[in-house]
Every structure is written in C-alpha cells, then in structure tokens.
C-alpha cells in the first residue's frame, strides 16, 4: 500500500450529483454545518447515505473525503504516520488530518466497524473543541469553520459488539435515513432517474422491494436496498427480463438460503 500525498482539490465535486430528498435532511444538515455540529447518518445499507454526502459536499462547495472503516483501521490510518523515503523519515497526513487542514468534509463510513480506540481520536473533533491532536507530532490541529465531520452507522446490525458507544453518538446531530418505499413514489423516482428505466417498471421494482422488506426478520437479514433496485433496473433497461434481473441483482444478493431464494424468486415471478 503506497501512501501518496493527495491533492485536496481532487475531492471537490464539480457536477451536481442526483439526490432525491426524502424529508428535511438537507435543511438539517445545512443548519448543523452552519453551527459546526458533526452529523451522524443512520440507516440501512444502500439507502443513499453516501450519495447524500456527495450532494451536500457539492452544495456546500467543500471537498469530500470519505473513509470506509474496517476492523483493522487504526488511529494512524486516519491521522497520519511517518514513512521512510530515500533514507529520510517524512510525515504523511492521514485523510482525517487532510480534511481538517483543508476545511473539507470528512465522512467516516460504517464507523462502528473501526476499532474502538480509533473512535477516540475523533472525539475532540466532534465536540466544541474542534481540534485534532496529533500525538506523534505533538501538535494540535484546529479545525477551521468550514470543516465538517460526519459519520454513518447502520443500526440494523444488532450485534452487541458493533454498537456505537453513547459517548460517541451523543456528540452528533443524527439524521435518520430509510428506504423511501412505495408511498409517494420517491423511490421509484430515484430508481428511474438512476437507471433510465420507465417509471411504471421502476414502481413495480419498488413494490418487489417492499415484499423483500416484509421478509426482513422472517428469513432475510435485510430487505432489498435502493442500491439493489438501481442495479436490477439497469439490467432491465439493457434488455434483461425483469424476473431474471430480480433474481440476479436482488435475490442472490440478499440470501444464500435455498428456501428463501425460492420464495423471493416466486414473489418476483408473481409480480412481473
């Protein structure tokens, strides 16, 4: 893994990402941003959290630096470390430090996956001190007004080990995300816009998603996400039959259990 200096400008989003708002999340985020409050995005996988962050970064004209957290992510991975180059040691800022220095938006995706000790380094950034201590350099980097920290978290995984500590979660303004569902047709709108599929078929897909979401807890760990619907829609738009598209892009992605697979496939066969 070769570390390289990143040019922060590359992280500025210049084209408006398509984001379908489903509530007052944009207004709340803007208010939190204006007040230097960090934001926590809660919600199941593939419901538009990352897309929302891209959209907000574009709207606020700030660079967006995203870190996907995993269980080996250490504090140094975020903050920075010394590397040896041609016989000399050089300090390289980690993504978090870069975002702080540049006054960008740092988005820590799936933050519960990170090691517990990693979380501690973001605490001083996430309260009113808004500083990042860099132990190895013995310095404190103060966050400029434009800097924003946001993290995401999927409360659906009910593992005791993967719960967000109170001391962490109580520092953030929380925004709740969910699949918009069939109601006023928002999700069909998203699917249609993302895939180029016509509205009616997109609405059928959303109806199918609803069926798989009914199965959550009754055999499926999770129902179909908006992301999976977009995948299936793209397949359909390029000529795959709806039943096959649902089988490949949705059913197989949801489960390996043969009985559940059969049930999900029967449902899509009923619908199309």
Partner 1 sequence: MIAARHALSAPRIEALLDELLEVEFTFRQTADAAARLATLDADTQHFMIDWIKRVASTNLELGYQVACRAVAALDAMPRQMIEEWALRAMDVYDRKGLRPALLVIEGLDAFASEQRARARGAVLERCEGVLQGVLHGLSGRALKVEAAARIYTDSEKIFLPQLLAQLPSEAENFSLYKVSAVFQWARTRFGGFSALRRAGVLEGEATPGLLALFHRLEGLRLEGILSRELPGLYRELTLLGRNPAVAVEPPSQWAPWRSRLMEAGVSADDVLALARRQLGRLHGWRAPLYYGEPDREALRACMEARIEREKGRFRVALAEIQSELRGDHPRGAPLRFGQRPVGERGDPQEAQIEILLDDQPLALPPEVQRTLGSIIQDLDALPQEYLSAAGAGEYDAEREGEERCAGESVWSGTYHEEGASLYPEWDYRRKHYRKEWCAMREIDVEPVHDGFAEQTLVKYGGLVKHLRKSFEALRDEERLLRRQPHGDGVDIDALVEALAEMRLGREMSDRLFTRMHRSERNIAAAFMVDMSGSTKGWINDAEREALVLLCEALESLGDRYAIYGFSSNTRKRCELFRIKRFDEPYGAGVRARISGIRPRDYTRMGFAIRHLTRLLNETDARTRILITLSDGKPDDYDNYRGVYGIEDTRRALIEARRARVHPYCITIDELARDYLPHLYGPAAYTVLNEVSALPLKVSDIYRRLTS
Ligand X SMILES: Nc1ncnc2c1ncn2[C@@H]1O[C@H](COP(=O)(O)OP(=O)(O)OP(=O)(O)O)[C@@H](O)[C@H]1O
Task: Kindly indicate which of the ranges 24-32, 49-57, 250-258, 260-268 contains the residues binding Mg ion, using the contact rule CB under 5 A.
Answer: 49-57
Nearest distance, CB of residue 174 and ligand X, angstroms: 15
Q: Residue 45, interface with ligand X (CB under 6 A)?
A: yes
> CA dist 149 to 35, 48, 137, 236, Å?
12, 18, 22, 38
DSSP H or E run through 202? helix 199-214
Largest CA distance in the chain: 67
Q: Which does 230 bind (CB under 5 to 8 A by kind): ligand X, partner 1, Mg ion, none?
A: ligand X
d(CA 210, CA 98): 41
For ligand X, the binding residues in 156-215 under the rule CB under 6 A are 190, 194
Give the closest residue to 215 by CA, choosing from 243, 246, 256, 255.
Answer: 255
In the sheet with 148-153, reading across from the earlier edge strand, the strands are 64-68, 105-109, 148-153, 39-42, 173-176
**Looking at 47, 143, 203, 245, which residue binds ligand X (CB under 6 A)?**
47
Task: Kindly indicate which of the ranges 4-12, 41-49, 76-84, 126-134 contains the residues binding partner 1, using the contact rule CB under 8 A.
Answer: 76-84
Build a one-symbol-per-residue string for 192-211: x at contacts with partner 1 by CB under 8 A, - elsewhere: ------------------xx
d(CA 91, CA 81): 6
Nearest distance, CB of residue 227 and ligand X, angstroms: 4
Nearest distance, CB of residue 113 and partner 1, angstroms: 13
């Amino acid at each position: 893994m070769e570390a390289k200096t990143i040019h922060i400008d590359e992280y500025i989003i210049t084209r408006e990402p398509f984001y379908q708002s489903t509530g007052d999340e944009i207004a709340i985020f803007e208010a939190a941003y204006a007040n230097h409050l960090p934001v926590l995005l809660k919600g199941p996988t593939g419901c538009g959290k990352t897309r929302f962050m891209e959209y907000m970064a574009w709207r606020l004209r700030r660079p967006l630096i995203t870190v996907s957290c995993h269980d080996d992510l250490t504090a140094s991975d975020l903050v920075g470390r010394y590397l040896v180059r041609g016989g000399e040691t050089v300090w390289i800022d980690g993504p978090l430090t870069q975002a702080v220095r540049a006054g960008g938006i740092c988005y820590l995706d799936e933050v519960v996956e990170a090691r517990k000790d990693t979380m501690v380094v973001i605490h001083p950034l996430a309260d009113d001190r808004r500083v990042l201590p860099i132990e190895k350099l013995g310095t404190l980097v103060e966050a400029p007004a434009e800097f924003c920290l946001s993290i995401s978290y999927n409360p659906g995984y009910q593992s005791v080990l993967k719960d967000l500590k109170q001391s962490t979660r109580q520092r953030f303004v929380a925004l709740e995300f969910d699949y918009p569902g069939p109601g006023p047709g928002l999700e069909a709108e998203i699917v249609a816009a993302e895939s180029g599929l016509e509205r009616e078929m997109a609405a059928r897909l959303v109806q199918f998603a609803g069926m798989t979401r009914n199965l959550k807890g009754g055999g499926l760990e999770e129902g179909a996400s908006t992301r999976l619907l977009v995948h299936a829609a793209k397949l359909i738009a390029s000529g795959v039959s709806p039943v096959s598209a649902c089988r490949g892009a949705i059913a197989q992605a949801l489960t390996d259990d043969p009985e559940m697979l059969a049930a999900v496939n029967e449902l899509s066969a009923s619908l199309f």
